[in-house]
Amino acid sequence: MSDNDSSKLKLGALTALVVGSMIGGGIFSLPQNMAAGAGAGAILIGWVITFIGMICLAFAFQQLANRKPEVTGGVYGYARAAFGNYIGFNSAWGYWISAWIGNVAYFVVMFSALSFWIPAFGEGNTGAAIITASILLWVLHFLVLRGVHGAAMINTITTIAKLVPLALFIVILVFAFKIDTFNIDFWGTAELGSVVDQVKSTMLVTVWVFIGIEGASMFSGRAQNMADVGKATVIGFLLTIALLIAVSILSLGVLSQPELAALKNPSTAYVLEAAVGSWGANLMNAGLVISVGGALLAWTLLSGETPYLAAQDGMMPKVFGELNANGSPAASLWLTNGLIQLFLVITYFNGSVYLSLVYLATSMILLPYLFCALYSLMVAQKREGYQAGESTAKDVAVGVIASVYGVWLVYAAGLQYLLLSMVLYAPGLLFYVWARKERGEKPFTGAEAIIAAVIVVLGIYAAYGLSVGTLSL
């Protein structure tokens, strides 16, 4: 990819990458996903926690873009700068796996939506759905191989297109909202347990719909202006959270929590159908197909970029750091989309459904987000990139809150998903050692060797638990 300004990403394209990454299939399934484990009161608390935590994470990314413009690569680059090569690699590895497993989830929910018109697609994991999804996967693959900049332009167009049905959904539900329905078993304690447990149940869902908040920072090396990276992150976050909260809360005033929990996904289709009839379901299912199509493109870009960035710094084997004639990381894309294809086939044979894939993808990104929050706090405390006399109080506060939120997310996800993530983190060791040997460098420091051993042991333990049935998705 050339370095002239015409090939660089401007604020609009960077913002569209953030919004396009976050607004995918998740928002269209949000009413059912949230209501599955929480009542209206707990959902409101969950959104308050999410808003505070995620806005601080967004500000943390903005701060790092402004104070550390020389550190590119987003979650990977920040983790490496803060904690060294091996933690940086694991941040890239976890983010990358989260990205491509998320794409598998997107394919499943897209074809579940298409089953509204084509019943053969079922829940999105039938033979017909997997074959058609595979064709779409490789169409996207070859589109991105033709160039990142062109694909980003298409993503901008699909991002605008997907916002139209969501805006119409919100307007209609404002008029269809019934406070009596919203107040039914407001705290959910009759069926769903304690409010704390309900709030915890919303956390993986809310993180899932915000994965992509770092989209602009991942492409910081391709940005025309580094200041636009931080602006795009915050603008994209504020637009997205307004839409997410509106979709989630307004739905509880149309159908009760038990009714929402029982819906098939994409649940927004059936909420709008309850409000206005069958044309509402047609609109939202069509909107989801457009939305997920755009999100798949954005996440194909992001997931292909991550191994490429790591390889540039010697954290992944050299082959993944090579660009083709169009400026796309070809080897990285082949590996990523090959694994997506494998998981699509696995989905067919083991019956995995959307929410299980969502939880797995989300669990993989929790540690990378925590590392970025901690790095923003470290930068502020050390006054790196600040002028003499310039206050760091706001940035320190943001870093503290974002870090506490990151720890809370790991706790809320629970031990089960932390262990499951280790199954996927452990194989990364082979790629890391391969890359370090290519450069003739020692793979680990003493502390890193201990961390690697812990990850492998936990991964083996979790794999055993999966094999005997004591651990499951």
Note the pLDDT tens digit of each residue in 272-281.
999 999 999 9
Alpha-carbon gap, residue 442 to 279, rounded angstroms? 62
Which residues, other chains included, contact 318 with Cβ-Cβ below 8 Å and sequence gap of 6+? 311, 435, 438
d(CA 34, CA 42): 10
Half-sphere exposure for 141 (CA within 13 Å, toward CB): 20
Between CA 382 and CA 384 the distance in angstroms is 5
Cβ 185 vs Cβ 191: under 8 Å? yes
DSSP letter (8 states) at residue 375:
H
User: Which of 133, 103, 109 has its CA nearest to residue 33?
Assistant: 109
DSSP 8-state assignment for residue 219? T
**In the block, which residue shows the tokens 């019934």?**
178
- For residue 1, the model assigns a pLDDT of 40
Query: Buried b vs exposed e over 412-435: b needs ≥16 C-beta within 10 Å?
Result: bbbeebbbbbbbbbbebbebbeeb
Predicted structure pTM score: 0.81
Those residues with Cβ within 8 angstroms of residue 67's Cβ, 6 or more apart along the chain or in another chain: 379, 380, 384, 385, 386, 395
Q: Which long-range contacts (CB under 8 A, 24 or more apart) does 178-181 make?
A: 178/253, 178/254, 179/253, 181/252, 181/253, 181/254, 181/255, 181/256
The rounded distance, in Å, linking the Cα atoms of 259 and 271 is 10
Give pLDDT, residue 3. 47
Q: Which residues does 84 contact at the CB level (< 8 Å), separation at least 6?
A: 445, 448
State the pLDDT at residue 449: 94
Name beta bridge partners: 9: 223
Whole-angstrom Cα distance, residue 439 to residue 86?
Answer: 15
Q: What is the 3-class SS of 389-451, one letter each residue?
A: CCCCHHHHHHHHHHHHHHHHHHHHHCHHHHHHHHHHHCCHHHHHHHHHHHCCCCCCCHHHHHH
Select from 338, 261, 336 the least CA-distant residue to 306: 336
Question: 266 preceded by cis ω (within 30°)?
Answer: yes
The pair of three-digit structure tokens given for residue 149, joined into one six-digit string: 């900049």
Return the CATH class of domain 5-415: mainly alpha
What pLDDT sits at residue 216?
Answer: 57
The reported pLDDT for the residue numbered 2 is 43
Sequential pLDDT tens for the chain (473 residues)? 444 555 577 787 777 777 766 776 678 889 999 998 899 999 999 999 999 998 898 889 888 888 988 887 778 889 999 998 899 899 889 888 988 888 888 898 889 889 989 999 988 889 999 999 999 999 888 888 876 555 556 666 776 777 888 899 999 999 999 999 999 889 887 778 889 889 988 887 888 777 767 665 666 666 777 778 778 888 888 888 889 999 999 999 999 999 999 998 789 999 999 999 999 999 898 888 887 877 787 777 778 888 888 888 888 899 998 888 887 888 999 999 999 999 898 888 776 666 677 777 888 888 888 999 999 999 999 999 888 888 999 999 999 999 999 999 888 888 888 888 899 899 999 999 999 999 888 888 889 999 999 999 999 999 998 888 887 76
> How deeply is 152 buried, as exposed, middle or buried, from its count of CB atoms within 10 A (0-12, 13-18, 19+)?
buried
Helices (H), 115-126: none
Q: Report the C-alpha gap between 134 and 338 in whole angstroms.
A: 10
Beta-carbon contacts of residue 251 (< 8 Å; ≥ 6 apart): 30, 31, 35, 173, 260, 267, 268, 271
Length of the chain (residues): 473
Residues 436-470 have pLDDT tens digits of 999 888 888 889 999 999 999 999 999 998 888 88
Rounded CA-CA distance 18/30 in Å is: 19
Q: How far apart are CA 127 and CA 271, in angstroms?
A: 28
